[in-house]
Amino acid sequence: MSSKKREVYAAFKAAFPYTIPVLTGFLVLGMAYGVLMKTSGFETKWAVAMSLIAFCGSMQFAAINLLLSPFNPIQALILSIMVNARHIFYGISMLEKYKGLGKTRNFLIYTLCDETFSIVSGVTVPKDINKKYFYFAISFLDYIYWTMGTLLGCVLGGFITFSTEGLDFALTALFVVLFIEQTKKGKVSKISGVIGIISALIALLIFGADNVVIPAMIIILVLLLSGRKKLC
C-alpha cells in the first residue's frame, strides 16, 4: 500500500467513530425522504440524484411540494435562500479550518451540512492523521450516509401501500428536538428562541400554514436585527 493510501485509510478509520451518530440519523431521515419521493411518483434515480447534487436535507423535503406544484422559480429561490441561509455563517467559521487544503477544499465546501459542521467545528484532528484527509473523510462519509438512506427509502417506498402522510414531519421533529436540547444546554439564547416561536405563530396566523416559512424567517430577521444591541 502506498504512503498516500495509508494516510487516507488512517484518516477514514479515525473519522468514522465521530460520524456514527450522523450515520444513524441520516439513514432514518434519508429513508424518510426516499420513501416520500417514491410515493410522490418520482423514480429512484431522481431521488438519489437530488441527494447527490442538492444534498440540502430540509430543503430537499420542501422541494418535494415545489416539484409537485406549478413552477414558481422566484418562490423556490427565496425559500432555498431562507432555509439554507445559515450555511453562510457555517462557511465563514470554517475558513480557517479549511485553509490550505487545495482542491479538496471545494468538496468540503460543497458537502458542508449541519451535522458535518457540528463535527468538524468541535473535533480535534488526531495526531499523525493528515488534516486534509480527516476532514474529507468526515464530509464524504456524511454525504454517503444521506445518499444511502435515500436509496434505501426509495427501495422500501416501492413496497409501501399505505398512506405516508405526515412522514415529512420527521425532519421538523428532529429540529424541534435539537432546539430543545440546545436550549437546555444554554447554547441558544432564550430570548432568541422566544422570538423564533412568536414569529412563526404570527406568520402562521397571518399567512397560513402553506406560506409560513418565508414570512416567519423575515419577521425573525427583522426582530433580531432591530434588537441586536440588546441581545448581544
pLDDT at 229: 57
Task: Report pLDDT for 121.
Answer: 84
**pLDDT value at residue 178:** 61
Q: What are the average pLDDT values for consecutive 10-residue runs of the chain, which has 232 residues?
A: 87 95 88 89 93 90 84 83 80 89 94 89 90 96 96 86 67 68 65 84 88 81 72 52
Residue 145 confidence (pLDDT)? 96
pLDDT score recorded for residue 10: 95
203, HSE (Cβ side, Cα atoms, 13 Å): 19
Give residue-wise pLDDT tens across range 193-217. Answer: 788 889 889 989 998 887 777 788 7
φ and ψ of 189, to 5 deg: -60, 130
Please name the residues in contact with 77: beta carbons below 8 A apart, sequence gap of 6 or more. Answer: none
pTM (predicted TM-score) = 0.77
Q: How much is the pLDDT for 162?
A: 66
pLDDT of residue 8: 94
Closest CA to 11 of 117, 145, 139: 139
Instruction: Answer for the pair 50, 63: CB distance below 8 angstroms, yes or no.
Output: yes
How far apart are alpha carbons 168 and 117 in whole angstroms? 23
Residue 95 CA to its chain's centroid (Å): 19
Rounded (5°) CA angle 81-136-17:
105
pLDDT of residue 2: 80
pLDDT for the residue numbered 45:
95
pLDDT digits (tens, 9 = 90+) for 3-33: 889 999 999 999 999 999 889 888 988 998 9
Grid cell listed for 20: 456514527
